[in-house]
Amino acid sequence: MTNTRQDYGIEDALKNLGISKENLGVSTGGAFFANGDTIESFSPTNGEIIAKIQCGSVEDYRLLIEKAKNAFQEFRLMPAPKRGELVRQFGQKLRLYKEDLGKLVSYEMGKSLQEGYGEVQEMIDICDFAVGLSRQLHGYTMHSERPGHRMYEQYHPMGIVGIISAFNFPVAVWSWNTALAWICGNVTVWKPSEKVGLCAIACQNIINEVLKENNMPEGISSMIVGDHQIGEILVEDKNIPLVSFTGSTRVGRLVSTKVAERFGKSILELGGNNAIIISQNADLDMSIIGAVFGAVGTAGQRCTTTRRLIIHESVYDEVKNRLVKAYGQLKIGNPLDQNNHVGPLIDQLAVNQYLESIEKCKAEGGKFIVEGGVLSGEGYESGCYVKPCIAEVENHFSIVQHETFAPILYLMKYSDLEQAIAMQNDVPQGLSSAIMTQNLREAELFLSHAGSDCGIANVNIGTSGAEIGGAFGGEKETGGGRESGSDVWKYYMRRQTNTINYTTSLPLAQGIKFDL
């Protein structure tokens, strides 16, 4: 097996997306520019340098913010359906570039090609959702206690929305925020992960086409590739009333504190430690498929990755044996080869964390029934390919309480459902959860007030693979933020209550008398 770009049409995809050997990492919706340091984007599929990116400087960031502030003054006055039309056109462009952008996502990040295509489809879906929503940004009308008065509430755009995204979803999370921010009348400033800067530049190239074709001012959609200093400046910038941050709980805690100190608002999408409860009443064929995809998809680098399986003692051995057999059939290799199930981790740091987690698990008493390890040899030259592994553990192990961004699956037993739900909830994170059961009572208990404490709770599907129509996010150390569907658009707007007096007198609320 040889991991070369030419094998899978990567060179053509890069060309079609406007990616060259040397790229500038700042754009305000017009030309690209940058005055910062140069970094190299590596592909974890083969360890090769894809291209160089000149990052943005602090001065570049300040110029970008000034452009965004000026653009907002004009953009907020455009009717929401007109803003929705821009989003519609962006969705159409994504349809044209889906294959190329999906390949780049797969090549630069390392997820399977099908997952790369799926991520671009998420972008298309959120655009479709936002277009319809642009005609439904409604408030409420209320009855006033005072005669001759009308009360209602409405929503206004906030200004600049800052978006800081993680490497594991290089393009989708940005689009969730941008599509909703735009139809709400906001402008956006995006700082992507430097590990996937080319994906961000490609997206900005696509959205620049839309802005140019519609003669829109610079600053409506801006992007800057930069280091942690740029991120820190963005988080502390009083010009940005809303920061959407996707990343680790550790960094999210810092972001939350800094934004709150200046009375800004934040949307936090942080760590997950997601479990599937497999009941004695489960369809085991379905359960195995959901568990394996949830655990090894994106090589375990999803915030919704299945980390824990809580299995009823009566079916524990059967589930365990089926999992061992299924893991033995996994094909690990270049993610652009659609015959492979599992691609690489993002970089060597991720590999080291994977190995450290395995050792910590063993030190605490974990028993590995499918061993891990780093793959080497032909096709694995990048050193980023690892074996998905499975360990029998106890839920209280410190390593099990921790989110490891790697394909390590933990198994544990339970005897009654209340115990299983308690185990499911007994971790610091609260993103996604699931139960596999054909028993209605079990399903309803899991979804009840006494059930899962996560932001996402599923029945007979896994923890991974959320649709854009629902609000996405979690509780506890996952941050409490919500993105994507439902009424999440309200996060991107400021609420205002209005009272109109259409009489010739001025009665006061609560019957207060004030006569002159």
How far is C-alpha 2 from the geometric centre of its chain's CA atoms?
A: 31
CA distance 34 to 54: 6
Average pLDDT over residues 332-343: 95
Average pLDDT over the chain, rounded to an integer: 96
Residue matched to tokens 């996707």: 246
pLDDT above 80 for 333: yes
3-state secondary structure of 362: helix
Is 199 catalytic? The answer is no
Distances (CA, A) of 161 to 240, 301, 468, 486, 491: 6, 26, 20, 19, 11
> What's residue 365's pLDDT?
97
User: How do 274-278 and 306-312 pair as beta strands?
Assistant: parallel
Q: Are 41 and 225 in contact (CB under 8 A)?
A: no
pLDDT above 70 for 57: yes
- Return the closest-CA partner of residue 197 out of 56, 16, 348, 363: 56
pLDDT tens digits, 434-459: 999 999 999 999 999 999 999 999 99
User: How is residue 366 written in tokens?
Assistant: 């974990």
CA distance 196 to 169: 9
The percentage of residues in the chain with a pLDDT greater than 70, rounded to a whole number, is: 99
pLDDT above 80 for 4: no
3-state secondary structure of 253: helix
- State pTM to two decimals: 0.95
- Return the closest-CA partner of residue 466 out of 304, 289, 251: 304
pLDDT above 70 for 353: yes
pLDDT above 70 for 334: yes
- Return the closest-CA partner of residue 315 out of 335, 287, 345, 296: 287
**HEC assignment per residue over 66-108:** HHHHHHHHHHCCCCHHHHHHHHHHHHHHHHHHHHHHHHHHHHH
Residues 434/437/442/448 CA torsion (nearest 10 deg): 30
pLDDT tens digits, 306-326: 999 999 999 999 999 999 999
Is 55 catalytic? The answer is no
Average pLDDT over residues 144-161: 96
How far is C-alpha 363 from the geometric centre of its chain's CA atoms?
A: 32
> What's residue 516's pLDDT?
77
Q: How many CA atoms lie within 13 A of 41 on its CB side?
A: 33
Q: Which of 184, 203, 303, 384 is catalytic?
A: 303
Give the pLDDT band (50/70/90) at residue 128. very high
The percentage of residues in the chain with a pLDDT greater than 90, rounded to a whole number, is: 96
pLDDT above 60 for 5: no
pLDDT above 50 for 6: no
Residue matched to tokens 């934040």: 266
**HEC assignment per residue over 154-221:** EEEECCEEEEECCCCCCCHHHHHHHHHHHHCCCEEEEECCHHHHHHHHHHHHHHHHHHHHCCCCCCCE
> What's residue 7's pLDDT?
62
pLDDT tens digits, 64-103: 999 999 999 999 999 999 999 999 999 999 999 999 999 9
Give the pLDDT band (50/70/90) at residue 2. very low
Q: Are 410 and 275 in contact (CB under 8 A)?
A: no
Give the pLDDT band (50/70/90) at residue 1. very low
pLDDT tens digits, 18-33: 999 999 999 999 899 9
pLDDT tens digits, 175-226: 999 999 999 999 999 999 999 999 999 999 999 999 999 999 999 999 999 9
Q: Are 310 and 456 in contact (CB under 8 A)?
A: no
Q: Which of 115, 269, 477, 483 is catalytic?
A: 269
CA distance 373 to 233: 39
CA distance 45 to 333: 8
> What's residue 32's pLDDT?
97
